[in-house]
Amino acid sequence: MCHVRTITDDGCNPKAPPPPPRPSLRGAGAPPGTLTAVPQADQTSPESFPGPPRPARVTPVPLAELARRLDADAAEAPEALLSGGPADTAYATGITHDSRAVRPGDIYAALPGARLHGADFVAQAQSLGAVAVLTDPGGTERAEATGLPVLAVPDPRGRMGELAATVYGVPGDALLQIGITGTSGKTTTAYLVDGGLRRAAEKDGALTGLIGTVESRIGDERIKSERTTPEATDLQALFAVMRERGVRAVSMEVSSHALVLGRVDGCVFDIAVFNNLSPEHLDFHPDMEDYFQAKRQLFTRARSRAGVVNFDDEYGFRLISESEVPVTTFSAEGHPDADWRAENVEVGPLGSTFTAVGPGGQSVPASAPLAGPFNVANALAALTALVAAGLDPYTAADGIGAVPGVPGRLERVDAGQDYLAVVDYAHKPDAVESVLYAIRKVTEGQVHAVLGCGGDRDPHKRTAMGAALARLSDTAVLTSDNPRSEDPLAILATMLGGAAEVPTHERGTVLVEEDRAEAIKAAVARADPGDTVLVLGKGHEQGQDIAGVIRPFDDNDVLRTAIRERAAVHEQHGSTTFPAAETPHRTDIQNR
């Protein structure tokens, strides 16, 4: 097993024997996860095949060897796991869980789904060149009907990552892997870590990788992300492409879904980072304890080699004692017992500066290139992780401070207006409050904020989000986010109920506008010089899901258009204020 490597290492000997099988950490009774045949948007890869990129060169792996990997007890008789067609001459060069993304030489992982079974699509997989099927007993008969060899295991999703790592030659062992988990700040921290890695890599001409909610990056190539953490088959292929193209280090977001559903099976992170934990995804996790235990999986010896943990967070403090791997702590609040702490913090409208004080009193000038005290915590987390990985702290701090911004995270929209306009991804109560507090500190005038709640997601946070917006904004415009299959007005009613619970003397003007574009216009219409217009919830997203149809929608573009349209009206009327008749009219439950 490789030890923690620096970015300039060449990784493990590629001829070394593969590591022993890693156990699935999903646990008994874990949900089956997503359907095998899931939608996959075509990526930026120049190849004609759909789905994420694949490595150009793969050494074929005999199916019999893969069978041995799946069950060590079958080492003397691997055919015990194989059924269906002949397997003695079959070799695999890839693996996918999506029947439409099958390439010649692939193993097709036919997984049980909530409504359908992946085995329903084995004929399609076979027609595209699948050489074998991985499935469970429930899919075995349908898979065998194709005549293909079948690898049958009780929990195929739990073995898929291990199998993918083996097929692609355990590509993660050639990469310095830094995984970031937590409720808020994963994306920003991943970008800041990547900034430090890039600065360290400059002198050697090495490349870095990034995997997360907004996008994946292989060097400077950008690939649209479908989810925070890719499925295990796609993730291992992506690692293999990175290795093939000269990437030495990767920063990666790791969601609780990814840990529970086995998406990071086959990975052992060199550094695991824990930012924070607050109520979220309680439609997936039954309670906060289950949510915490999912995150804690990343800090087991099967998942990581070392940890970096937020000393200031309640759950982070608990994790310090419960982690199975050595932990380095950080404190943006400056706690003296933390290994790294922030001192001399100066929060500005565009970012913050601070001094990172480490073991032995080591002092490193640092900066957070995004506004808000929570981004001081994200920057300190990134710095601590990079130092734990072996980077020089001054180089790491320099790279973090040079990050130009993170898409959809406190992203400024400038169309020549005399007020601040910002788009942010905040879509949970704590994040909404943190962003609003940060914006208030840099706003001379009033704050006009727009927010919606997503449908078919945790409904418990809607009341709290409506209340937070009403309490901390001068104008709170409640609108739609991605209503999906739910009635947008029903979602808004719940948010409005939360706003109404805020005492009248503590809340601002509350407007209700179902149409998100019109809601943004309503906020812009109220902005005066020195104010801030803040559009929350969707951030980097490029579409809006309404009744199963995803329509193009970019908060950044819509906000910029609204600003320009208002400016044009001002110019037409020769005034700096809207004529009264053109002021948008909406439901107003209280004027502060």
* Annotated binding-site residue numbers for meso-2,6-diaminopimelate: 457, 481-484, 537, 541
Phi, psi angle pair for 112, to nearest 5°:
-70, 140
Phi, psi angle pair for 431, to nearest 5°:
-65, -40
**HEC readout, 491-558:** HHHHHHHHHHCCCHHHCCEEEECCCHHHHHHHHHHCCCCCCEEEEECCCCCCEEEECCEEEECCHHHH
Rounded CA-CA distance 362/356 in Å is 8
Under DSSP, is residue 277 helix (H, G, I), strand (E, B) or coil?
coil
Which amino acid does the sequence have at 76? E
Phi, psi angle pair for 502, to nearest 5°:
-75, 130
Cα 546 to Cα 281, 364, 410: the distances in Å are 20, 48, 25
Rounded CA-CA distance 349/149 in Å is 61
Other Cβ atoms less than 10 A from the Cβ of 89: the count is 8
Alpha helices in 170-231 (DSSP H): 186-201
Under DSSP, is residue 137 helix (H, G, I), strand (E, B) or coil?
helix
**Known binding residues:** 99, 182-188, 228-229, 255, 263, 457, 481-484, 537, 541
Q: How far is CA 386 from the centre of its chain?
A: 19
Are the C-beta atoms of residues 546 and 537 closer than 8 Å to each other?
no
**Known binding residues for ATP:** 182-188
* CA distance from start to end of the chain: 62
Dihedral angle sign, alpha carbons of residues 83, 89, 91, 96: negative
Phi, psi angle pair for 572, to nearest 5°:
-65, -40
Are the C-beta atoms of residues 534 and 422 closer than 8 Å to each other?
yes
Tokens of 464: 């709290």
Q: Could you say which DSSP state residue 582 is in? A: G
Nearest to 564 by CA among 511, 521, 507: 521
Residues 6+ positions from 433 with CB-CB distance below 8 Å: 468, 472
Rounded CA-CA distance 47/400 in Å is 33
Rounded CA-CA distance 94/247 in Å is 20
Are the C-beta atoms of residues 512 and 488 closer than 8 Å to each other?
no
Rounded CA-CA distance 241/246 in Å is 9
Nearest to 110 by CA among 121, 94, 124, 123: 121
Tokens of 13: 């000997």
Rounded CA-CA distance 198/436 in Å is 31
